[in-house]
Homo-oligomer: A and B are copies of this chain.
Amino acid sequence: MDELLTTTLDVLKETGYERLTIDEVVSRVHASKATVYRRWPSKSALVVAAFVHAVSHLPAEYDTGSLRGDLLAGMDDLLNEMERLADVMAGLIDEKRRNEELATALREGFLDARKQVAAGAFARARERGEIAPDADVEVLWQIAPAVVMFRWLMMGESVPREEGHRLVDEVVLPLARAGRRVSAPATPPPPPPRRRHAPPSS
Q: Which residues of A contact B (CB under 8 A)?
A: 16-19, 60-70, 72-73, 76-77, 87, 89-91, 93-97, 103, 106-107, 111, 130, 136, 139, 142-143, 145-147, 149-151, 153-156, 166-167, 169-171, 173-175, 177-178, 180, 182-184, 187-188, 190-191, 193-200
Contact A180 B170 (CB under 8 A): yes
The residue on B at minimum CB distance from A80 is: B195
Decide: B61 and A191 in contact? CB cutoff 8 A.
no
Q: Which residue in chain B gives the minimum CB-CB distance to A174? A: B183
User: Nearest chain-B residue to A65 (Cβ)?
Assistant: B191
Of the residues B60, B93, B145, B197, contact of A90 by C-beta under 8 Å: B93
- Find A97's partner among B18, B67, B156, B193 (CB 8 Å cutoff): B156
Assess whether A177 is in contact with B184, with CB atoms less than 8 Å apart: yes
Interface SS of A by simple majority: helix
B contact residues around A149 at 8 Å (CB): 146, 150, 154
Given the complex of chains A and B, what is the CA–CA distance between A145 and B106 in angstroms? 21
CB pair A66–B150 under 8 Å, yes or no, is no
Tell me whether A198 and B64 are in contact (CB under 8 A).
yes
With contacts A93-B153, A153-B153, A195-B73 taken as known, whether A190 is within 8 angstroms of B145 at the C-beta atoms is: no
Which residues in B have their C-beta under 8 angstroms from that of A72?
190, 193
Chain B residues near A65 (CB-CB < 8 A): 190-191, 200
